[in-house]
Amino acid sequence: VTVSIKDIARAMNISYSTVSRALNNSPRVKAETRQQIQQLAATMGYLPSAVARSLVTRRTNTLGIVVTKITDLFFAEVIQGIEEAALSYGYSIILTNSAGQPEYELAAIQSLRERRVDGIILVAACASTESKQRLFSQPLETPIVIINNVHQEHIGFSVETDNLQGGCIATQHLLDLGHRRIAYIAGPVSEWDSVERQQGYVQTLQAAGVVVDSALMIRGDNLPAGGFQAMHQLLALPTPPSAIFCYNDVTALGAMRAAYSAGKSVPQDISIVGFDDISLAAYFEPPLTTVAQAKLEMGEKAVQMVLDLLAGQPVMEKSVLPSRLIVRASSQAFR
Amino acid sequence: VTVSIKDIARAMNISYSTVSRALNNSPRVKAETRQQIQQLAATMGYLPSAVARSLVTRRTNTLGIVVTKITDLFFAEVIQGIEEAALSYGYSIILTNSAGQPEYELAAIQSLRERRVDGIILVAACASTESKQRLFSQPLETPIVIINNVHQEHIGFSVETDNLQGGCIATQHLLDLGHRRIAYIAGPVSEWDSVERQQGYVQTLQAAGVVVDSALMIRGDNLPAGGFQAMHQLLALPTPPSAIFCYNDVTALGAMRAAYSAGKSVPQDISIVGFDDISLAAYFEPPLTTVAQAKLEMGEKAVQMVLDLLAGQPVMEKSVLPSRLIVRASSQAFR
DNA sequence: TTGTAAGCGTTATCAG
DNA sequence: CTGATAACGCTTACAA
């Protein structure tokens, strides 16, 4: 049913290489015949086969992306950045989901390689350090770029937010407001970005001469539920904190919910600062003060790196994007 | 650099068709040689080429999906459902973004067809009725299934939520709570699902003998901003509503924000009901009463339909999934 | 400017 | 059980 260049060549009694040239706007074909060919192709409903083309060109114009969770608003925005950038370069993206499981991630990468994607972007890689090392050690393999590398060791190519700086500005903001008893609700332990943000938090406190209380550092997860639970623990403390810096915005959302359910109000009783600046954060009640990550830019940058890698151009191993504080209503001066 | 079956055939001095069989676990090859071949393939780092295979099998085991906006939490969850179902059938998905622009959508579909995807799922199609008609009229083309068809006319295959029913139960809930002056904040006019929800709203009001006031039906959009603006208009009315049914959860979020900024509280002064039940809705302040759509199931169902279509099995043109009311704190009895 | 032919890495159809 | 060999639909030297 599908019409191929041979069909249209036959219909015009010419060789199919000429058809191929005409369709690719090669100058090596008379303008007139090109016209005719293109017209006939259109009327015959010809659709070039990207798979046949890929087989010979050894390029699929496709980027694989592996994400731990599609429904995370932060990742979704990063993916949007990737998709837009990819499209602008004529690339499509194959989206796969690792559900945060290293085995799935590796399986996904394998599958993408079988599909001969030109490059792979890992959004928050979850595989172990060793397996990542293996991924990058293979020579001449599909280029891989990791967004928000979750491990301490720097491996391969990555683009990430300056989490340390983010942790610093968030904490400094709270200090500037007069808070002294400031808590940190972390992400999952496995996430290195949470550790970095926490380091920024600790450093900033220390620099201000505020004693760092380990009881004020509580683990959450990537969901509101984690923030909710953590906040309950914090409120049960003999001396609860007056301000809280959260791993991310949804953690902050959960924390605020817990505060309300405990009869506390934000920011009157307790100030909250998030991280990410997801699109809904400005509409939370109260609108959330947060540290914005350059989500779209991260996606763009990652695509650029992959493409540069593919083109054999020199690429910096690590691209760090600054974050910036966005002050809204969830934080106020300590009274 | 890539090793092919020919390479491993050469290395073992056998024909490459045997290698192919062994790798595909064909019974038509001696168990022993199969063992050897598979082992050698592994040590040589052989990775089958899906593109070569696709060229001959005429199957890519790939589904194309076109979505209007990736960062919409509702769509994201639908996509997750699609991805999971696709994976379970051994399919990968190519994700493209139409940004709500019909031309982009058509271009995306074209691109997916060039890539020879086995089927296409449109998440909230935005193309015009005529162009959709054309899409479906072509015989033996790539099967297409539309999730949340945004047009009135029923075209092709689709899976959607029973929006009318959803509008009914939301409105009935508010009526049951004693509200009589109930508003509807709609989505974009172009979205048929919003119209259907509104019909459910109107019908339910009429059935209860409540006069339908057109001043209480205001257009929003797909964002909190739309809900915010609409709410401001409603609050400026001589007799503002005591309850509001919103097109979706983010609209509701924007509406609540507007209520707060006007000094009103939810649900004491005004009850709010959303639609979708996005994952964050339970953590809004107050937790949002909403009509849940079976998001993952929609994705699953769409994949199943595409695959059935592909297999030539009989498929119902329209699959309608029920919605259900989830009562949380944003709605309370009229006082 | 056009045609011929090789080849991309598989699967699949024949024979042997 | 195994081996030739012809596709699949295209690009791309190389010839004409």
Q: How far apart are CA A307 and CA A317, in angstroms?
A: 14
DSSP A68-137: S-TT-HHHHHHHHHHHHHHHHTT-EEEEEE-TT-HHHHHHHHHHHHHTT-SEEEEES--S-HHHHHHHHH
Interface of B with A in 146-205 (CB under 8 A): none
H and E: helices and strands count for chain B: 12, 12
Confidence band, pLDDT 50/70/90 cuts, at residue B151: confident
Cβ distance B70 to A48 less than 8 Å, yes or no, reads: no
Give me chain A's average pLDDT, please: 94
Closest Cα of chain A to B116: distance in Å?
Answer: 7
Is residue A27's beta carbon less than 7 angstroms from any atom in nucleic acid strand C?
yes
Arithmetic mean of pLDDT, A48-77? 97
Is residue B214's beta carbon less than 7 angstroms from any atom in nucleic acid strand C?
no
Residue B106 near residue B66 (C-beta atoms within 8 A) = no
Cβ distance B116 to A50 less than 8 Å, yes or no, reads: yes
B94 CA from C14 C1′ (Å): 37
Residue B139 has pLDDT above 60, yes or no: no
Q: Which nucleotides of C are covered by protein (CB under 7 A)?
A: 1-5, 7-13
Instruction: Look at residues A222, A249, A244 and name the one whose alpha carbon lies nearest to residue A232.
Output: A244
User: Helix (H, G, I), strand (E, B), or coil: what is residue B313?
Assistant: coil
Q: What is the pLDDT of residues B197-215, one digit of tens each?
A: 999 999 999 999 999 999 9
Residue in A1, A51, A84 closest to B140 by CB: A1
Confidence band, pLDDT 50/70/90 cuts, at residue B132: confident
Is residue B48's beta carbon less than 7 angstroms from any atom in nucleic acid strand C?
yes
Instruction: Look at residues B155, B137, B135 and name the one whose alpha carbon lies nearest to residue B64.
Output: B135
Nearest CA in chain B to A260: B285
Cβ distance B51 to A51 less than 8 Å, yes or no, reads: yes
Q: What was the pLDDT predicted at A218?
A: 96
Q: How far apart are CA A5 and CA A2, in angstroms?
A: 10
Q: How far apart are CA B221 and CA A54, in angstroms?
A: 41
Q: What is the pLDDT of residues B263-285, one digit of tens each?
A: 999 999 999 999 999 999 999 99
Cβ distance B115 to A51 less than 8 Å, yes or no, reads: yes
Name the nucleotide with the smallest C1'–CA separation from A19: C2
Q: How far apart are CA A47 and CA A230, in angstroms?
A: 56
Instruction: Return the structure tokens found at B57.
Output: 């099998």
Amino acid identity at B24: N
Q: What is the pLDDT of residues A106-159, one digit of tens each?
A: 999 999 999 999 999 999 888 777 777 777 766 558 999 999 876 767 778 999
- C-alpha B138, offset from chain centre: 24
Cβ distance A73 to B77 less than 8 Å, yes or no, reads: no
Contacts of A9 (CB under 8 A, 6+ apart): A15, A16, A18, A19
Cβ distance B284 to A279 less than 8 Å, yes or no, reads: no
Q: Which of residues 233-272 of A touch strand C (CB under 7 A)?
A: none
A115 CA from D13 C1′ (Å): 27
Ramachandran category for residue A13: left, alpha or beta (phi over 0 → left; psi -120 to 50 → alpha): left
**Model pTM greater than 0.85?**
yes
Confidence band, pLDDT 50/70/90 cuts, at residue B140: low
Arithmetic mean of pLDDT, B62-84? 97
Contact residues, chain A, for B62 at CB < 8 Å: 94, 115
Instruction: Look at residues A150, A154, A334 and name the one whose alpha carbon lies nearest to residue A242.
Output: A334
Q: How far apart are CA B120 and CA B225, in angstroms?
A: 32
Tell me how far CA of residue A175 lies from CA of A34, A183, A243, A335, B305, in angstroms: 70, 12, 9, 13, 56
Q: How far apart are CA A104 and CA B286, in angstroms?
A: 37
Q: What is the pLDDT of residues A241-277, one digit of tens each?
A: 999 999 999 999 999 999 999 999 999 999 999 999 9
Is residue B18's beta carbon less than 7 angstroms from any atom in nucleic acid strand D?
yes
Measured between CB atoms, does B215 come within 8 Å of chain A? no
Amino acid identity at B141: E
Arithmetic mean of pLDDT, B80-91? 97
Interface of B with A in 95-124 (CB under 8 A): 95-97, 110-116
Cross-strand partners of A292 = A276, A324
Range with lowest mean pLDDT among A269-283, B144-158, B172-186: B144-158
Q: What was the pLDDT predicted at A191?
A: 85
Instruction: Return the structure tokens found at A315.
Output: 């690429």
Cross-strand partners of A95 = A65, B93
Name the nucleotide with the smallest C1'–CA separation from A56: C8
